[in-house]
Structure 1
């Protein structure tokens, strides 16, 4: 699984060959440093551990600092492992966006969605609510309704969809098409939206 780490820059739009305006997300992908190489002999599987984003040394533990020093690089904020990458890299090498993706590829984007705070069931779970405000209905348009039965089972089942904290979770968007790759600026444009705020970490993989 080839992949790379980056951060979301924002959204823009470009014109395709048919003259249609296509919305896309701009991601600053890489360059990432190889901080560990795992093989069948040492770890029973093949993987490359990539690191991205600068971290202050005073905010880095001694264990992590030694790990990055072994790769001859500065401390990084994000460390992600990609299994079975077909790139032949050694410890301390750099992975750039044009080595992983070309225009026309399909990729999956993994990010942390924006947190929306405490939300009701209509926004959180797409409940319809009571649409008809007549016949004695009063302030029930966005209410959750019944959450349990009567004396049996005399409890609320686990997993009941109710109001609560919404957003702020790991989200994967699959089958995003790569529209443009700018190797000199470490930028990649993918069609559609990518989860997370501007500046948020995004993992792209095939």
Structure 2
């Protein structure tokens, strides 16, 4: 603890450098390994905006807000056969919760939550029940996976749903330009095969966008700015966790490793500046190369 406080004092005397290294690596225990799997968080999609790097290039980002995330239950190998954390998000009025569910939250000693999600983790990343997860759980520059149901489009035709080309616009085609066309064969086999792409309900399916870069973290508003688009409508609950295809040194730049493990230390979070922005680096994209 003494070394932790001393590192925070060094950050205070340094005047909060814009680099993440001082505030990320100072709080990390030596137990983090490249095989460690941390818990994810439940965020709410607030919409999209833009950021500009030092070269003036616009970067589209999605704003995700982490609302009152807490650990509600710990699942271990002895009782459940696997290790996971049950995370709850967004406090809910107790009178609107059924008694069995309310008892589950009272046993954990946390406020009733609107959304519960399990995240598989390794045994070294277990957090106590009631631990709060904040935006500083992630660091600028690292990669995350975002999962949520896609936008529902209702009943749609084959052209919109699957990208079919449609019928010919000439040579006698009448009123069937966007129709599906033939779906079967002749007398043999005399049926439509299962799985044929036809008109039907579109959207509303679980989707995951992988390896999205965290561009900025706002600790006061609990916001994380993720590069690119995220599935779901505005105010949709989004599952955000470390990218599964960016394990080891590929999960984040070397100057911000190791990641906060098993989550960000509250004392270090208090000493951080409000916003931490990822470094883009590289050369000026507007300069002509010879």
Which TM bucket (shorter chain)?
over 0.9
Unaligned runs of 5+ in 2: 1-36, 243-290
Task: Measure the CA separation in 1 of the matches of 2:59 and 2:80.
Answer: 44
Q: CA RMSD in A?
A: 1.5
* 2:128 is the alignment partner of 1:90: yes
Pick the structure with more strand per residue. Answer: 1
Matches within 5 A, 1:90-169: 90-99=128-137, 101-130=138-167, 132-169=168-205
Q: Is the 8 A contact 2:146 2:230 kept in 1?
A: yes
| TM-score normalised over the length of structure 2 | 0.67
* Match 1:15 to one of 52, 72, 76: 52
Matches within 5 A, 1:19-98: 19-84=56-121, 87-98=125-136
| Deviation for aligned residue 1:44 | 2.3
> Structure 1 residues 137-146 or 114-123, which shifts more?
137-146
Q: Is the 8 A contact 1:34 1:51 kept in 2?
A: yes
> Structure 1 residues 150-159 or 54-63, which shifts more?
54-63
Task: Measure the CA separation in 2 of the matches of 1:60 and 1:25.
Answer: 31
Larger radius of gyration: 2
Task: Measure the CA separation in 2 of the matches of 1:51 and 1:149.
Answer: 52
Q: Which runs of 4+ in 1 moved over 3 A?
A: 85-88
Q: Is the 8 A contact 1:111 1:171 kept in 2?
A: yes
SS in 1 for 2:101: helix
The count of aligned residue pairs is: 204
| Deviation for aligned residue 1:194 | 0.8
* 2:215 is the alignment partner of 1:179: yes
Q: Deviations over 1:10-38 (max 9, x none)?
A: 11101023220111000002431111012
| TM-score normalised over the length of structure 1 | 0.93
Unaligned runs of 5+ in 1: none
| Deviation for aligned residue 1:165 | 1.0
Task: Measure the CA separation in 2 of the matches of 1:146 and 1:138.
Answer: 16
